Amino acid sequence: QGSQKRSNSTPETPRPKRAPASRSPYGLFSPGSFSPSVTPSQKYSSRGGRGEVVASFGSAQGPAWSGCGGCAVKLFGRPEQNLTKPYKFMFQKALDVRQALAGRVEELGEVLRRHHGLDGFTSTAFPAQEPVTVLGQIACDGNGKLNTKSVLLVGDREHSGGAQVPLDLSELPEYSLFPGQVVALEGTNSTGRRMVVSKLYEVTP
C-alpha cells in the first residue's frame, strides 16, 4: 500500500480553503443572479387580450386607395445632373465626391463675391504683405476639436489648388466657425505659412 501524503497546515503555510459557491463574487454578479429564470413568468404567459385593438382614431378601417391615372414624371435640369439609373448610396468614388465638393465651393464662392462686392480671390499659398482675399473651407489641423489654434483654411481648387494655411483669428472681434464651412477671408500672409485674418465673409441666407 502506497503512503498518502497529508499537507501540513501551519500558520506560515495555511491550508487553502474552498469558498462555497454561494459566496463567490462571480456568482453574486453573474447574469444568472439578475435573471435567474429564463422562461417567462406565469403572469406574462397567462395574459389576456393579446392582439386586440385598445384605441383607434377615426372611423375608416382599411381604406382602399386607387389612382386616377394621367400622371407623368418630368425631370428638370440638365440630363447629366439627374439620376437616370439606380446606384448604390455611399458607394461613390472618392474622386467623384471631391469634384462635387469642389464644385459646391466654387458656387458658394461666386455667391460670396457678388453678395459682398469682392473683386476676386487669391491663392492661399502665395506670401502677401498686403491684405488679400482668399476662398476655401474651414478645417482642423488634427482629429481633435476645433479651437483658435487648430483652424485651417483649405483653399479652393480654382485659385489655390487645395493648399492649406493655418489661420490667426486674434484680430477678429467675433466669429463662429465649423469644419467644412465655406468662407472668404481677408488678411495678410507675410511668410506664406500663416494668415492673419482681418475680415470674415460668410454665406448668409
Q: Find out whether 156 and 165 touch, Cβ atoms under 8 Å.
A: no
How do residues 45-65 score in pLDDT, each as one tens digit? 677 777 777 777 766 666 677
For residue 181, give the nearest of 202, 200, 197 by alpha carbon. 202
Q: Is 78 left (phi over 0), alpha (psi -120 to 50) or beta?
A: beta
| pLDDT at site 41 | 62
How do residues 17-38 score in pLDDT, each as one tens digit? 655 555 555 556 666 665 555 5
The SS3 assignment for 39 reads: coil
Q: Find out whether 188 and 128 touch, Cβ atoms under 8 Å.
A: yes
| pLDDT at site 146 | 87
State the cell numbers at 193.
Answer: 505659412
Position 133 pLDDT exceeds 90: yes
Domain extents in the chain:
86-204
Can you say whether the dihedral through the CA atoms of 108, 110, 116, 121 is positive or negative? positive
Distance of CA 45 to the CA centre of its chain: 44
- Whole-angstrom Cα distance, residue 13 to residue 7? 10
Helices H, strands E: what count in the chain? 4, 5
- Whole-angstrom Cα distance, residue 63 to residue 135? 56
- Whole-angstrom Cα distance, residue 25 to residue 42? 30
Q: What are phi and psi of 125, to 5 degrees?
A: -90, -15
How do residues 141-173 score in pLDDT, each as one tens digit? 877 788 888 899 999 988 888 889 999 999 999
Fold for domain 86-204?
A: OB fold (Dihydrolipoamide Acetyltransferase, E2P) (2.40.50)
Residue 193 CB contacts under 8 Å (≥ 6 apart), including other chains: 165, 166
